[in-house]
Structure 1
Amino acid sequence: MSSPEPAVRAPRNGPTAPLTVAVTGAAGGLGARLTERLLDSPDIRRVLALDERLGEAGGAEWHTLDVRDPAIADLLRTSGATRDAEDAGETEPSHAPVDVLVHLALDLDVESDPAARTAFNVRGTQTVLTAAAAAGVRRVVLCTSAMVYGALPDNDVPLAEDAELRATEDATCVGDLLEIERLAQRAPRAHPGLNVTVLRPAVLVGGTDTALTRYFESPRLLVVAGSRPRWQFCHVDDLVSALEYAVLEKVDGELAVGCDGWLEQEEVEELSGIRRMELPPSVALGAATRLHRLGLTPSPAGDLAYTMHPWVVSGSRLYEAGWRPTWSNEEVLAELLAEVAGRHTVVGRRLGRKDAATTLGAAGATVALVGTAALVRRARRARRR
């Protein structure tokens, strides 16, 4: 007979005492930014930073581990400092259990092996949720993407948070994110009393590299004929502030995060100064499918849907709680363009200088087709050799 599962501590109406918070993936990217912000918050007593390597946040208690290791449950239960933290001269260990865990240790790299990426993302989330419940953590905060709503021509503009998740698994990382959403839905039923809050940002910008940010590295903005894309962005700083709202128990449930409103494709072209290249659906989807099948691009054809159809979100639940974005869509687009300046991408494949000089040398509306043809010819020659 198995021993009874430890009871999860009851949630509160906002923090009445400073919290102990654990952050996975704390050594870089979004996790590092959130860790720094929590360390500056008067509502946070201690921050446990969990990653496979030590990060730079000096005030955090660092623990190096793989989030798929079930031993994370013991760490969350006692939250004493590890030998790594002691060797680094970090805060002395204490033994207050963790109140909130923010799970940001995800591999969303477009260049990662898909099978290995899925194994890490799904198994890691499963382990974190189970460990949190076993340790008595009362709240887990997850971060997926507004992409889980799907990009479809009949989507409401904007989408409400409780809109049906109609995405398919055809786009980069979306299958992993959908499975994480399913785990989030099941966890409170399997572990009564555990609160799971999920944030779904729009196109994330600020030190990120995704299939959607690479869209703006192309010499022409690919537009599929007959489609009407709308663009909504989310700056990583605004996502960090929304995550803090979730940590401080100001919001619950599924939360969409993004700038106010959206930009039409024509506005994006005017603001960016990048002209469009319009292609028939059969040509655009066919080229993307062939390139991905040949292994020449990490982006499957499913990524194109998110540049064709709207998936704008309202963010009403955060707004009702008093949160507001500090960045506008226009400002985030300007930052994105500054970040990708000098990079060259064709159908999701980033090119080096030599490839860019030959593949992207053509001008005008044929540039992407020229690039596609060149890449396909190169693959055929390699196969014949």
Structure 2
Amino acid sequence: MSALIDAEAAAAGAGAAHRSPRATKPFSGSLTVVLTGTTGPLQRRVVAGLESLGDVTVFETTGDITGLEGDTADVVLDMASSDHDWLAINRASATQFATTTLSIADELVADQVVFVSSAMVYGANANNSFPLTEETVLRPDNEFVFARQLASAEELVEQWRRSRSGRRACVLRPAISLAGDGNSRLAGALVSGLGKRFAEDDPPSQYVHLDDLAAAIVIAVQQRLDGVFNVAPDGWIAGERVRALSGEGPRLPLPERASEVLGSLRWRFQRGPIPPGLRSYTHEAWVVSNGRLVAEGWRPTVTNEQAYVEGTEARWWTMISPKRRQELALGAGVGLLSLIAIIGIVVGRRWWRRRQR
């Protein structure tokens, strides 16, 4: 099974990753969209966005399309294959559910599939281009099966598109997705490992708000997009800024070898913030370019920092400006000195009274 996944992932790198988007005409008139799987906060946003377009009918299913027998659909949308939590609960893999989605698309004679993947399929490698574009060959971490499965699922979607003339397949690769009303355990694990490494430099990172990801999905349907598109805000956050937002203290400088030994011991004794399969994604940058999606009319409304803060409940002192932080520190210092003086006066008075007895 592992060899099969590796082979499929390699094929994905040579296939879907290099496919350029085709210009397609936005829909006019009525549109039927079928959503496969359930993805909680993201799905609620997408359904609301699709219904706001006007003459759009949205059906939601987890795989059973009995109620749609004899009907057809224009678009089949798969957000669940990239939902690590949902897959774990249902004991499914990304490739398995993507196969289900494509079967539904065949059954309903849909001419477009929109597949939400992840920027993790690029892999976090020391020699990654910066930023990563959609033409980059996929190299997901060998230890992280989920990312490899998503790469394989992307190739299945590409095969579906090529199997019949006139079909469209839009693959979206979002950065870490966050929101205040619910984050996945995977996003939480990544956030807990980024900007918090002990005595080591942190890579830059990106965070896309679920509102903006939902808007990207709606545009993919509305514009009938065909191709691969990264989804991320403009720019990225430097590792030091992530550390500051997380409220972590300053790093203790250590020799490189000592740092490696300490890191290995932390993982061995379960002191690390994330499981080993995700380590590379907190050690190296996998920042993506959003230029291709922006060219289609998508505009991010939430910055990386804003998405990070909302999604992580950062400590209050990370939200204030350096000047205000300095003022508060000076105020605290004065307050501490005043408290020490008061305590000294009280103690002195008590001592003097005892002397007078």
Flag whether TM exceeds 0.5 (same fold).
yes
Given that 1:148 and 1:178 are in contact with CA atoms closer than 8 Å, whether structure 2 keeps it comes out as: yes
Separation of aligned partners in 2, 1:122 and 1:40: 31
**Alignment counterpart, residue 18 of structure 1, candidates 26, 30, 39:** 30
Matches within 5 A, 1:139-218: 139-171=112-144, 173-206=146-179, 207-217=182-192
Matched residue type, 1:325? P
The structural deviation recorded for 1:157 is 1.4
Work out whether residues 220 and 275 of structure 1, in 8 Å CA contact, stay in contact via their aligned partners in 2.
no
Distance 1:254 1:190 in 2: 18
Pick one of 221, 246, 260 that aligns with 1:281. Answer: 260
Cα distance between partner residues in 1 of 2:151 and 2:194 = 32
The answer for the alignment partner of 1:112 in structure 2 is 88
What do residues 82-137 of structure 1 show as CA deviations (whole Å, max 9, x unaligned)? Answer: xxxxxxxxxxxxxxx21111112334029938x9332xx32221122133124210
**Equivalent of 1:323, from 298, 307, 311?**
298
| Contact 1:103 1:128 survives alignment (8 Å) | yes
2:85–2:185 Cα contact (<8 Å) kept:
yes
Distance 1:12 1:263, change over 3 A: closer
* Offset from partner CA, 1:174-206 (integer Å, 9 cap, x none): 132122112122212334432111101001102
Distance in structure 1 (CA, Å) of the matches to 2:212 and 2:60:
21
Match runs of 1:275-354 below 5 Å: 275=249, 280-285=259-264, 287-288=266-267, 291=270, 299-338=274-313
Q: How many residues align?
A: 286
Other-structure match for 2:350: none
- The CA distance in 1 between the partners of 2:162 and 2:25, in whole Å, is 21
Q: For 1:168 and 1:215, how far apart are their aligned partners in 2?
A: 14
What TM-score, normalized to structure 2?
A: 0.71
Q: Does 1:259 align with 2:241?
A: no
What SS does structure 2 have at the residue aligned with 1:23? strand
- Give the C-alpha shift of residue 49 in structure 1: 1.6
Residue 282 of structure 1 and its aligned partner are, at CA, apart by 4.7
The aligned counterpart of 1:351 is none
Mapped to 1, the partners of 2:152 and 2:261 lie a distance apart of 30
**How many Å separate the matches in 2 of 1:273 and 1:154?**
29
Cα offset, 1:300, TM superposition: 3.6
Structure 1: tracts of 5 or more residues without a match: 1-10, 52-66, 80-96, 342-385
**Larger Rg computed on CA atoms:** 2
Once the two structures are TM-superposed, the CA of residue 168 in structure 1 deviates from its matched residue by 2.5
Q: What SS does the corresponding residue of 1:20 show, helix, strand or coil? A: strand
CA distance in 2, matches of 1:151, 1:329: 19
Counterparts of 1:290 and 1:193 in 2: how far apart (Å)? 54
Matching of residues 227-242 of structure 1 within 5 Å:
227-242=201-216
* 1:221 Cα deviation from its structure 2 partner: 1.2
Say which structure, 1 or 2, has more relative contact order (CA 8 Å, 6+ apart): 2
Name the % identity: 30
- Larger helix fraction of residues: 2
Partner of 1:48: 59
TM-score, normalised to structure 1, is 0.66
Q: Distance in 2 between matches of 1:103 and 1:340?
A: 35
Structure with greater strand percent: 1
Q: Which residues of structure 2 form unaligned runs of 5+?
A: 1-22, 253-257, 317-357
